[in-house]
Every structure is written in structure tokens, then in C-alpha cells.
Amino acid sequence: MKAVILAAGQAKRLGGIEKCMLEVGGKPILEHVLRRACEIADEIVLVNNEKMDKPRGSLGGIDIIYRYQEKPDGIIGAIECAAGALAHHDFFLMLGDEVMVGCKHKEMVQRWNKIKSDTWGMCGVKIEHDKEKIKKTYVVLSLNKSPKDVYVAIEKPDVVIGPLMGTGHCIFKNKVLEYLRDIPVSERGERELVDLIQVLADDEKRVEIFEVCDQYVNVNTQEDYEEAKTFFV
């Protein structure tokens, strides 16, 4: 299993700084993500921008391949930057600005190894009953009970139906890379992870839902950052 960590994003609402280098729990967010990746991957592909310093801290002997995203055109563009380093391997996608507590990434990989023969992806979600928080990320809907498969994925929904808040923690079959070129540019001017998940679901390529953590925030605003810091008090 390879891990792909996307760390090229800057927070316009936080003064244009690299979000992943903000500190929570005494470490940059990116270091928490890297340590998580080292527990499930034999190699890490880190996509960042040329201005960002290389990450600090022990990586447990896991090799990191750096890829640089010169043009910030969304998560799909960042995955394309990493694609050449993945060879034929499936990959665990992680975002460098995600803060998680009670992360079940190991269990997610174990589940993937059981179902990967007939599954194209796994979408890590958090059960969230605060609809305003879900509106900041994306919502996932499913028609079946257990195991749940993605039927609809909606980016930053105006109306929230259901408690499944999507995260950037997703596992994908390597063949998913063939779909990247078909992902359209969204109204935000980016090619979105949510659209990749939806394209797979529409094409009847199974994407299973997995509850990946107990607490979660994707840091984009000062409010998000303050919430993330409370996880480590």
C-alpha cells in the first residue's frame, strides 16, 4: 500500500500560509498525517509546493517521494502529480490539513484487503450530527445498510441529508487513475475529489463507506484551527 499525502494547499482565509504546517498538539498537522501514513504504507508520495519546507520528524524508515504541484488545480490535479510514483499500486489518499482523533486507518486498510477484488474505492467518513460542519466538507449518501456503498457524494451541500461527513482519507484502486482525465472543473475552478467518487458510483464502480475517525476537522479557517487545537487539550 502506498500513501499519497496532499500538502500543497494554502489557506487564503488564514493569510495564505501552508495549512499543513500549523501546529496542533505540539506538532505541525502534516507531521501527524505523516506518522499516520507510516503505520499503513511502505512508501509515501508527498505532493507539496516548492515554497514549503520538507517535513520534520522521524518517518519510521519509510521512504518519501516528493512531487511538486506547480499549479493549484484541486485534489485531482495533485493526485495526477503523484500518479507516476505509484506504479501499479493501490493508494491511501490523505490530506495534509486534516486533523483526526481516534483514526481507524489501520482497520480501513484491513477492510480494503478483504474487499479490494470487487471494489474501486473506500471513502473515509465521520458520523456527524452538526449539519453546519458537514456543509464545510462533503456529504455521502448510501442506499444500502451494511456495508454501505456510496450512491451520492455532494461537495459543500446547501442542504444536508444524513450524518455521513466525507473526509480526504480515501483508498483507491490503482485503475482509478484512468478516470482522472475525465473529472470536470467545478464551479470553484478545481477538479474535486467528490466528483471522482461520484463518477465511480455513476459508473457502477463500487466505493464502500468506512467510518474512519471519532473527531475530525479539515483546517481552512481560524475557527477550524481553534477547533483542531481543542482535540489535544
Q: What is the pLDDT of residue 144?
A: 80
| Lowest mean pLDDT across 23-27, 57-61, 191-195 | 57-61
Q: Where are the alpha helices (DSSP H) in 39-192?
A: 75-83, 105-115, 131-134
Under 8 Å between Cβ of 90 and 171 = yes
Q: What is the tens place of the pLDDT at every residue in 11-41?
A: 665 666 778 889 999 999 999 999 999 999 9
Evaluate whether 2 touches 44 at the Cβ level (below 8 Å).
yes
Count each helix (H run) and each strand (E run) in the chain, helices first.
6, 15
Quote the pLDDT of residue 52: 56
What CATH number has the domain spanning 2-230?
3.90.550.10
